[in-house]
Amino acid sequence: MRTFCFLSILLWAATFHCVGQTPTRYTLIPRPAQLDPRPGEFVIGPATTLLVPADQPALKALVDSFASQINRTSGLGLAVRTTTQGGRDSSADSSAQQPNVIQFLPTRDSLTGAEGYRIDATVKQITVEASTPAGFFYAVQTLYQLLPPAVLGTGPVSTSAATSVSPSPTPWTIPACRIQDRPRYSYRGLHLDVSRHFFPVSFIKRYIDLMALHKFNNFHWHLTDDQGWRIEIKKYPKLTQIGSQRRETIVGHYDDYDPQVFDGKPYGGFYTQDEVRDVVRYAAERHINVVPEIELPGHALAALAAYPELSCNPSATYQAATKWGVFTDVFCPTEKTFGFLQDVLTEVIDLFPGKYIHIGGDECPKDAWRKSEFCQQLIKREGLKDEHGLQSYFITRIDKFVTAKGRRIIGWDEILEGGLSPNATVMSWRGTKGGTEAARQRHDVIMTPGQFCYFDHYQGDPALEPTGFGGSLPLSKVYAYNPTPAELSPAEATHILGAQGNLWTEYITTSDQVEYMVWPRAAALAEVVWTPLALKSYDDFARRLPTHLERLTNQQVNYARTFFNPTLTGQATPEGTVQVSIARSPLAPGDIRYTLDGSIPSAESPTASAEQRLVLSNSTTVRAATFEGPRPLSQLVRVQTEFLVSKATGKPYTLQVPPTTGRPDKNYLLTNGVVGGMGGYELNNVVSFANDVNAVVDLGQSQPVQSVRVGFVKYTAKNMCLPKQVEISVSDDGQTFKPVLTSKTNAAEGGKRAIVRLPFDFAPTTARYVRIIARNAGTVPAGLRNPGKPAQLAVDEIEIR
C-alpha cells in the first residue's frame, strides 16, 4: 500500500507537469487514491448517452438518478439505455457506436475492493467500472464532483451563472482523467444526537444525502438519552408517551447562570417505526448503514421516567432531564431490566438490518449501584471485583444477547472498564488511549476522539459563533487527524476500522445550526477516512475547498465560513501602546478590512496588509472581516477583540501571591491590553488565584493616578466569585504604600457569568507603584450553586488611569 501511495504521488505531480494542468481542475473531496490528469474534457450534451448492462437493475436505478439530476440542472434530457451482457447497445440505433457515451461496466477486478471504482474519462467517452453497487455509487459521487458545482442545484442554470434560468439546454463538462479509487478505512461515520434536540425525518434524509456525497457509509443515530427517548417501541408505549417529552429546557450553557434558568416550554418528539424503516431504506439506497444507539446502563432517565421499576429505587419518581450533564439514576441490573432491554433491542434489531447495534456504555455513575443492596449482593454472587466489574457484567449480558441475534455491539470506550466484552467494538471518544488499548487486545475500534471529531466544539471566535459545547476544533485540526495511532503494530492497526464525526445537540436546536457545525468540517473528515495518508495535504485540500463550497451552496447547505476569518493578535509595548496584527487565513480570498471604532467593517473600511501593525494608544474594539470584492463573505466571517490601553499597559508587575497552576500568568497577562474571553466553557487571557490577589504594578515613573479598574471573572457555577473587598494603595519607592481606597464588593453576586470590570476611583495622587489587593471570599457564599466550596478569584486585565 505504501508503494502504491508513493507512486501515485509521483505520477500525480509528473502528469500535471507534463500536461500543464493544475490540481484545481480536479476539485474532488475526498481526494481519490489515484488520479491521472489528461488534457481536454468530455462534454455532456444533447447527444450524450448513458449505457448500463441490461442485467443490472440496481445500477440502472443509480444511473437513472444521475441522469435525472443532470437533466434537472442542464435541461439536456439525457437518455439512459441498456446494453447486452457483452456491452452492445440493446436499442435499435446502436448508440454504443457513437463517441459521446458514458458507460457503466461491472468488473471482477479485486483491485477495486468492496467500495472502489475506476473512471476512465477521455474527450470521447467515459467508462465507469466497479465490482459492487457501492463502488458504482461512489463513482457517481465522483462524477458529480468532476462536473461543475451547479449540477447539484435544484433547477436549470445558464452556462454563465447558477442564478438564472437557461433558455436552452446547458452542456456540462468533465475534465479528462483516469481515476482508480478505494477508501482507506471501511468505517466512515457521522453521528447525530436527536435526543437532546429532535430533528424531523426530512432533515435526517438531507443529512444522509450530504454524507453520501462525501462517501461516508455509517450514520450513527443517537436515539435515546436522559433528555428524550426518540424511537417507538411497540411493547413499551410509555417510552414515547412519557419518555419522549420533557417539561422544559435549560437556557444557555449548563453553567451560564447561577441559579440555572429554564425556558418553561414542553419539548418532545419521536420517530415511529414506519419512519425508522423509511430512513433505513433511504440510507441503504445511498450505501449508508444506520447504526442505532440505545443508551445503557447510564443516560437512562427518559426510560426511567416511563418505567421507574427499572431503576434501583422503583418507588422514586423520575422525569426526562431538563438540563444537560451526567445523572446518577441508571438502569438497575435486575432480571426485569434485562428483560426490558432485550425486548427493546429485539424490536430495534428488527428495524435496523446492519451489523452494529450501539449500546452506549458511557458515563455511567456507580452511585445508585453502591447504595443498592441488590447490586451489592449481585457483585458478591457473581464474584465481581466492584461496581466497574458490575458494568462489565451488564455489558457482557447485553453483548451475548445481541450476538445471539447475529449482530455486534459498539460501545463508548467506558465499556473497557472492568474488562471488555469479547465481541464488542470500541468507539474511542476520550482521546485515543481507549482505542489504542482495545486494538492491542485485538478488538475492533472506531476512533472518534473529542479533540478531533466532536463537531459541537467551536470552530471560530466563541463571541461571534453560534453556541457550541466548548473547546476549539478548527477545520485544519480536523484535517490533521490520523485515526491509526503510530504506536500500534501493523497487526494491531488492522483493528482500527475507521473514524467518526460526532454532533451532540445540547446547544443545537435547528437544522441550520446542525449544518453550520458539521460542514465543512465533515468534508475534512471525509478525506481523513477515505484518502491514503501519504496523499493528504491541507494546502491541496484548501485549493479544492472553494469549488466544493460552491457545491454545498447549490444544495443550500448552511455551512460555516469561519475558516475564512483573519486572526487578531495584540502585544503591549513598553511605551504603553498595543500593537495589533491582522493575519489572513490561508483559505481566504479577497481583502481583509478592519475598523478601530467597534463598527462592522464595510467595503469602505481600510484594507489590512500582511506587514501592517496597528498601534493603539486608546482603548477600542478592533474588528476585521474577509471581503470578496465589495461584499463580505458572510456576516459571521469577522473577528473582533477588545483592547484596553491605560497607564498600566505593557508595564511589569509582581504578584505577592502566586496564581493557580490551572490558569497561570504568562508574560504579564494582566497588563497586556487584551481583554479575556469566556467562550463555551473556556476562559482565555485570564489568571486565577486560590487565595487573595495581591499585585503591584510598576508604572516606571511617578505620575498622576486616580482610578483603577480590574476585570474579575464572575463564574460562580465554577466557584469563581467576585472579591469581597478591594484595597488600593500607592507608593513612590515600592516599599512604603499609602492606602487610597478600600471598597466592599459583592462576592455573593450570581446571575449570568461574565467578566465584570469593577471601577475603583479615588482622590487624585501621584505614584510610581500601584498595589491592588482583592480579598477572596474564602468559600462560595450561600445562595450560589456550590455554597461552602473553596472560592477562586480570576482576573482579566488591570487598568490604571
Confidence tier at 4 by pLDDT (50, 70, 90): very low
Considering 225, 347, 515, 665, which one is annotated as catalytic?
225
pLDDT digits (tens, 9 = 90+) for 427-464: 999 999 999 999 999 999 999 999 999 999 999 888 88
**CA distance linking residue 792 with residue 493, whole number of Å:** 45
Q: Which of 69, 235, 92, 85 is nearest to 153 (CA)?
A: 69
**Per CATH, which fold does 2-181 belong to?**
Chitobiase; domain 2 (3.30.379)
Q: Which of 745, 753, 744, 757 is nearest to 785 (CA)?
A: 753
Considering 197, 253, 287, 299, which one is annotated as catalytic?
299
Does residue 150 register a pLDDT over 80? yes
Does residue 186 register a pLDDT over 90? yes
Q: Which of 755, 705, 753 is nearest to 729 (CA)?
A: 705
Nine cell digits for residue 175:
475534465
Does residue 200 register a pLDDT over 70? yes
What confidence score (pLDDT) does residue 246 get?
98
Nine cell digits for residue 285:
439506497
| Known catalytic membership, residue 225 | yes
Confidence tier at 20 by pLDDT (50, 70, 90): very low
pLDDT digits (tens, 9 = 90+) for 245-264: 999 999 999 999 999 999 99
More confident residue, 420 or 434: 434
What confidence score (pLDDT) does residue 680 get?
67
Q: Which residue has the cell 469549488?
A: 547
Cα angle: 93, vertex 96, 99; to 5 degrees:
110
More confident residue, 156 or 406: 406
**CA distance linking residue 48 with residue 171, whole number of Å:** 10
Beta bridge partners of 769: 698, 731
Q: Which of 672, 670, 679 is nearest to 774 (CA)?
A: 670
Looking at 90-99, 629-638, 716-725, which range is the least confident one? 90-99
**CA distance linking residue 420 with residue 392, whole number of Å:** 7
What confidence score (pLDDT) does residue 683 get?
87
**CA distance linking residue 319 with residue 301, whole number of Å:** 7
Q: Count CB neighbours of 277 within 10 A.
A: 14
Does residue 552 register a pLDDT over 90? yes
Q: Count CB neighbours of 402 within 10 A.
A: 24
Angle between helices 335-351 and 273-285 (to 10 degrees): 50
Confidence tier at 2 by pLDDT (50, 70, 90): very low
- Mean pLDDT score, 171-182: 95
Distances in Å between the Cα of 236 and the Cα atoms of 224, 268, 329, 345, 737 are: 14, 17, 20, 12, 74
- Mean pLDDT score, 263-272: 98
CATH architecture label of 653-800:
Sandwich (2.60)
More confident residue, 88 or 61: 61
More confident residue, 611 or 608: 608
| Known catalytic membership, residue 363 | yes
Does residue 85 register a pLDDT over 60? no
Confidence tier at 628 by pLDDT (50, 70, 90): confident
Rg (CA), the chain: 31
Per DSSP, the chain holds a count of helices (H) and strands (E) of: 18, 35
Angle between helices 521-530 and 538-554 (to 10 degrees): 120
Does residue 8 register a pLDDT over 70? no
Q: Which residue has the cell 466492584?
A: 386
Does residue 743 register a pLDDT over 90? yes
Distances in Å between the Cα of 228 and the Cα atoms of 409, 426, 708 are: 22, 24, 50
Distances in Å between the Cα of 171 and the Cα atoms of 41, 97, 159, 538 are: 12, 21, 8, 32
Beta bridge partners of 125: 101
| Known catalytic membership, residue 41 | no
3-state secondary structure of 155: coil
Sheet with 79-83: strands ordered across: 34-44, 172-181, 117-121, 125-130, 101-106, 49-53, 79-83
In the chain, the amino acid numbered 398 is I
What confidence score (pLDDT) does residue 636 get?
64
Q: Which of 213, 215, 223 is nearest to 187 (CA)?
A: 215
**For the chain, how are helix, strand and coil distributed in percent, rounded to 5?**
30, 30, 45
Give me the sign of the Cα torsion angle 529, 534, 538, 543: negative
The alpha carbon torsion through 602, 605, 606, 610 (nearest 10 deg) reads -20
**CA distance linking residue 29 with residue 549, whole number of Å:** 10
**CA distance linking residue 304 with residue 318, whole number of Å:** 6
Q: Which of 761, 711, 768, 712 is nearest to 740 (CA)?
A: 761
The rounded mean pLDDT for the chain is 92
Q: Which of 201, 222, 172, 528 is nearest to 359 (CA)?
A: 222
Q: How far is CA 445 from the centre of its chain?
A: 20
Confidence tier at 95 by pLDDT (50, 70, 90): very low
- Using DSSP bridges, classify how beta strands 793-800 and 172-181 pair: parallel, antiparallel or unpaired: unpaired
Q: Helices marked H in 405-449 — which ranges?
A: 433-440
Q: How many residues does the chain have?
A: 801
The secondary structure of 438-500 as a DSSP string is HHHTT--EEE--HHHHBTTSBSS-TTTSPP-SSSB--HHHHHH--SS-TTS-HHHHTTEEEEE
The secondary structure of 90-126 as a DSSP string is -STT-GGGSSSEEEEEE---GGGTTT-EEEEE-SSEE
Q: Which of 784, 634, 627 is nearest to 718 (CA)?
A: 784
Does residue 348 register a pLDDT over 80? yes
- Mean pLDDT score, 326-344: 98
pTM of this structure: 0.92
What confidence score (pLDDT) does residue 165 get?
42
Looking at 379-393, 467-481, 674-688, which range is the least confident one? 674-688
What confidence score (pLDDT) does residue 118 get?
97
What confidence score (pLDDT) does residue 93 get?
43
3-state secondary structure of 720: strand
Q: Which of 106, 50, 58, 107 is nearest to 82 (CA)?
A: 50
Beta bridge partners of 80: 50
**Per CATH, which fold does 562-643 belong to?**
Immunoglobulin-like (2.60.40)
CATH number of 187-508: 3.20.20.80
What confidence score (pLDDT) does residue 36 get?
97
Q: Which residue has the cell 434536540?
A: 197
Nine cell digits for residue 719:
466557584
What confidence score (pLDDT) does residue 160 get?
45
- Mean pLDDT score, 303-326: 97
What confidence score (pLDDT) does residue 1 get?
37
What confidence score (pLDDT) does residue 634 get?
67
Q: Which of 246, 232, 231 is nearest to 305 (CA)?
A: 246
Confidence tier at 423 by pLDDT (50, 70, 90): confident
Q: Which of 709, 695, 723, 725 is nearest to 794 (CA)?
A: 723
Angle between helices 511-518 and 201-213 (to 10 degrees): 20
CB 669 within 8 A of CB 685: yes
**CA distance linking residue 156 with residue 326, whole number of Å:** 50
Distances in Å between the Cα of 752 and the Cα atoms of 10, 261, 480, 688, 789 are: 57, 9, 36, 19, 19
What confidence score (pLDDT) does residue 286 get?
98
**CA distance linking residue 588 with residue 634, whole number of Å:** 12
What confidence score (pLDDT) does residue 19 get?
32
- Mean pLDDT score, 27-49: 96
Domain regions of the chain by residue span: 2-181, 187-508, 562-643, 653-800
Does residue 597 register a pLDDT over 60? yes
Considering 363, 540, 628, 642, which one is annotated as catalytic?
363
